[in-house]
Amino acid sequence: MRIEIVVFDGVDELDVLGPFEVWSLAAGRSELEVALVGLDGPVEVTGHHGLQFKAPAGLGEPSAVFVPGGGWLNRAERGSWAEARRGVLPARLAELAPRLDWIGAVCTGSMLLAEAGLVKGRAATTNRNAWAEFEEFGPRLKQNRVVDDGTLVTAGGITSGIDLALHIVERELSAELADGVAASMEYTRNRDVHGG
């Protein structure tokens, strides 16, 4: 399984790095692959808090796509809000989703999935401060930390991306591997998961 994490200027760093850490550790013990990707090809991005990092490839044809958030709640000039206004990323997500094993998001990355038309009628969540706006897109809003609706997996605010990533490792690979990764990170899992 290849998971591609889409990054863009203004992305919240922990939305990206928490799941990337989990999946990278799991990749060392399984057939899983994880990569940071830009929408239009390799890219260097500056995160919401100023961290600069590179995505060495562009969004391809992965098994799964993960979308972080950042910059939605304050309508930042860079971040998920800006990407939604630009429209290219939501359109690409809508195009890719039917061919993926699953598509996921953390925090206001879920708003990009909503903009792509992927949450209507589905159990999903986002950052609690965006719940009211999220509901306008017609999901069955759940207030759990992680919401698993099969091919759509979403998580609440920032650090819940770590729990989503561990949940995916458990769901797709094994509970033993997920618990081992959490232990190696000295992370106590939060198992507040709806569905799955």
* Pairing mode of beta strands 64-67, 2-6: parallel
Its pTM stands at 0.98
Predicted local confidence at residue 196, as pLDDT: 76
Predicted local confidence at residue 73, as pLDDT: 97
On whether the CB atoms of residues 194 and 141 are closer than 8 A, the answer is no
Give the separation between CA 56 and CA 16, rounded to whole angstroms: 15
Question: Tens-digit pLDDT profile for the chain (196 aa)?
Answer: 999 999 999 999 999 999 999 999 999 999 999 999 999 999 999 999 999 999 999 999 999 999 999 999 999 999 999 999 999 999 999 999 999 999 999 999 999 999 999 999 999 999 999 999 999 999 999 999 999 999 999 999 999 999 999 999 999 999 999 999 999 999 999 999 999 7
Query: Does 3.10.310.30 match the CATH number of domain 2-195?
Result: no
Domain boundary assignment for the chain: 2-195
Which amino acid makes up residue 22? V
13 phi and psi angles, rounded to 5 deg: -60, -45
196, HSE (Cβ side, Cα atoms, 13 Å): 25
Residue owning tokens 């930042």: 76
On whether the CB atoms of residues 160 and 146 are closer than 8 A, the answer is yes
